[in-house]
Amino acid sequence: MKIQLHISLRPYNTMHIDVNSNAFCVIHTESDLVSAIDWCYQQNMPLHILGGGSNVLFTKDVEGLLIMNKMKGIQIVSEDEHFVCVKFMSGEIWHECVMWCIEHNYGGIENLSLIPGTIGAAPIQNIGAYGVELKDVFQQLEAMELESRVKNIFTVDDCKFGYRESVFKQELSGKFCILSVTLKLSKVHTYHTTYGNIQDELNKQPTAQLSIKSISDAVIAIRQSKLPNPVQIGNAGSFFKNPLISKAHFTTLKNQYPAIPNYPDKDKVKIPAAWLIEQCHWKGFREGDYGVHAKQALCLVNYANATGLQIYELSARIITSVQQAFNITLEREVNIW
Ligand code: EPU
């Protein structure tokens, strides 16, 4: 394992922000991880772990050692005629694992096709799309506590999953490195096709046969039509969470904006942040190299050389205008470093 000093992180974040890290290394094994942690303690430096760099906005240089996780491996741990439990090492690329599942006819994560990032990052924010969340198929994960180097198993309850939330974004933030994630996948499938325009997309396909592959193809087509490809335009997917508001607040807004899209959620109502942002005329906004994507208002973009601070300030302006217009405080979904 080689430690590089003072390197640019631009190739390692999908927002393409050009900041430096004091030190950087790539780990392929658990023993690389332990060596990297030891090095940090010797140097008295902070340590940070990066997966695909697809849910982070760097606003300043990173102090300390940034570890890029490339621990790979896929292993079946148990199976019967209905289910298979598969352990994915945390440095595996999420979408490649989805494709592997489809090839093997293991169902459960096809709606999560084309989400950028790694397996290890998926539980941290409980990734979700098109009616499915990671927690729906999650069995357990193994993580190493950085300070003690002790390995722990986390069950679904231990992870405290919520909407784009887990214990790893809250009280355990920065304390563990996720080593592997085990998912319980189906051999006899239940299809989730009711979200948004999945069904419309499926209807366009030449074969009428519903399968995990056809759902994955539909999700890929929808995502490619709306979300910018981070290889071409820097972005980190949804920049904000969809806010939950009270029913009373919703009734007031509905009187004012009869067309307001809404999704009841227990005793609250979820409003698409993209709609709120669009109403405030930010969709397609561009100033210099930063802006709001023209096809999905939830996506902030870096066209070339925007700084993390410029994008952060743009997000603050959006939060203020949505607050003034709707009395709703948007929360950032992307991790700010
Ligand atoms: N909408 C607008 N303007 C837009 C886009 C959307 O008004 O520019 C409204 C429409 O009413 C639309 C509704 O928002 O029907 C929902 O839009 P969409 O289905 O595109 O989903 P979203 O709520 O904007 C969420 C996730 C995405 C995920 C999609 C699909 C969050 C923060 N975002 O977006 O996740 O792919 O649903 O399930 O929950 C991510 O987390 O990075 C991400 C991309």
Note whether residue 322 is domain-resident.
yes
What the block records as the tokens of 67 is 């570890």
Percent of the chain with pLDDT over 70: 100
Going by C-alpha positions, the residue among 296, 331, 292 that lies closest to residue 311 is 292
Name the pLDDT band for 1 (thresholds 50, 70, 90): confident
Q: Are residues 268 and 297 in the same domain?
A: yes
- Identify the weakest region by mean pLDDT among 18-32, 51-65, 205-219: 205-219
CATH assignment at residue 314: 3.90.78.10
pLDDT value at 208 more than 80: no
In this structure, what CATH number is given to the domain that contains residue 174? 3.30.465.10
Same domain, 109 and 169: yes
Which ligand 1 atom sits closest to the C-alpha of 197?
A: 19
* pLDDT above 90 for 96: yes
Among the three residues 69, 92, 114, which one is the final residue of a domain in this structure? 69
* Domain match, 37 and 111 both: no
User: Which residue among 112, 238, 244, 292 is best mutated to probe the pocket of ligand 1, counting the most ligand atoms within 8 A of its Cβ?
Assistant: 238
What pTM did the predictor assign?
Answer: 0.94
As for ligand 1, residues whose beta carbon falls within 6 Å of it are: 129-130, 196, 226, 237-238, 241-242, 261, 272, 274-275, 278, 283, 296-298, 333
Question: Mean per-residue pLDDT for 292-309?
Answer: 97
* pLDDT given for residue 205 in this prediction: 85
Helix axes 212-226, 94-103, angle to 10 degrees: 150
Pair 65, 98 in one domain: no
- Summarised one tens digit per residue, pLDDT across range 184-201 is 999 999 999 999 889 999
Please answer whether residues 212 and 304 qualify as being in contact, where contact means their C-beta atoms are separated by less than 8 angstroms: no
Q: Which of 56, 134, 298, 299 to mutate to test the pocket of ligand 1 (most atoms within 8 A of CB)?
A: 298
The pLDDT tens digits for 40-57 are 999 999 999 998 999 999
Q: Residue 106: which pLDDT band, with cuts at 50, 70 and 90?
A: very high
- Specify whether 104 is located in the same domain as 171: yes
**Do residues 106 and 57 both lie within one domain?**
no
Q: What integer is the mean pLDDT of 210-238?
A: 95
pLDDT in tens, 259-297: 999 999 999 999 999 999 999 999 999 999 999 999 999
Residue owning the nearest CA to atom 6 of ligand 1? 274
User: Ligand 1 atom closest to Cα of 275?
Assistant: 7
Please indicate, yes or no, if residue 195 is contained in any of the structural domains: no
pLDDT band at 206 (very low <50, low <70, confident <90, very high): confident
Query: Is residue 61 located within the same domain as residue 80?
Result: no
Domain count, the chain: 3
Average pLDDT for 249-254:
97
Range of the domain at 53: 4-69
Is residue 223 one of the residues assigned to a domain?
A: no
User: Residue for token digits 């519903």?
Assistant: 210
Look at residues 69, 92, 116 and tell me which one is the last residue of a structural domain: 69
Radius of gyration of the chain (CA): 21
Distance from the alpha carbon of residue 274 to the mean position of ligand 1, in angstroms = 6
Same domain, 165 and 142: yes
> What does the alpha-carbon distance between residue 247 and residue 253 come to, in Å, rounded to a whole number?
10
Give a yes or no: residue 175 inside a domain: yes
Question: Residues near 199 by Cβ (< 8 Å), separated by ≥ 6?
Answer: 193
| 97 and 178 assigned to the same domain | yes
Q: Where are the beta strands (DSSP E) in the chain?
A: 4-8, 20-27, 47-50, 56-57, 62-69, 74-79, 83-89, 128-129, 132-133, 138-145, 151-155, 176-186, 234-235, 244-246, 263-265, 268-270, 286-287, 290-292, 300-302, 335-336
- Tell me the average pLDDT across 82-94: 98
Is position 299 within any domain? Answer: yes
